[in-house]
Amino acid sequence: MNIKVRTFMGGLIGGVVFSVLLFHAAGYGEGPATGQAQEPARKPVRWQYKSGQLFAEKIYGNKTSEWTVKEYYESGPLKSETPYKDGKQEGTVKEYYKSGKLRSEISYKDGKRDGPFKAYYENGELKGEMAYKNGDIQGVLRYDQKEPLTKEIMQELEKQMDAKSEKE
C-alpha cells in the first residue's frame, strides 16, 4: 500500500510551531516522504524521507485501537510523539528540538486539547503555559515574553490554525 504524508503547519506561539500530520493511504495529498506499509498491522509502520532517513513511524500499543506516531527530523533526532486511541489524539503530544530537548507538550482527550500546554526554551526553561478544557482555551497561566499574551490573542491564533488546515 502506497502511503503519502502531508504536513499542515498550525501556527506560531511564542516561537513554537505546531504541526499536524495526516497520512493518506489512497495517495491523496503531497508531502516530504512516501513509504510502504508493513503487514501485519501490529508491526510498526515506517515512512522514510527520500534520502532514506526515517521520517515517521506508527507504533501499536497493546490494543490495535491504540498507537503512537513518532516523527523524526531528517538529520535523525525525534521531532514529535503523538499518541492515538480509536483514531483520535489521546494523551500527551510532545515536540522536541533537534538537540533532543523538549520543545512543547500538550494533553489531548478524545481528540481535543484538554489539560495543560507547556512550551520550553531549548535550555529547558519554561517559556509559556496555558490550560485547555474540551478544546477551548481556559487561560494563559504564564507567557515569558515582553508583550502580554491574552486569551483573545490565543483564540485568534486558534482560528488562524483552523482556517489554514481547512484550506489545505
Q: Look at residue 130 in the predicted model and tell me its pLDDT.
A: 85
Question: Could you tell me the pTM of the whole model?
Answer: 0.63
What type of residue sits at position 123? N
pLDDT of residue 18: 37
Rounded to an integer, the average pLDDT of 2-31 is 39
Compute the C-alpha angle 17/140/14, nearest 5°: 25
- Nearest by Cα to 47 from 60, 61, 33: 33
DSSP state of 124: S
The domain total for the chain is: 1
Mean pLDDT of 75-91: 95
CB of 141 closer than 8 Å to CB of 154? no
CA distances (Å), origin 3, targets 34, 66, 79: 6, 20, 20
| Separation between Cα atoms, residue 105 and residue 86, nearest integer Å | 21
Domain, as residue range, for 102: 2-167
What pLDDT score was predicted for residue 7? 39
CATH of the domain at 50: 3.90.930
Phi, psi of 156 (to 5 degrees): -65, -40
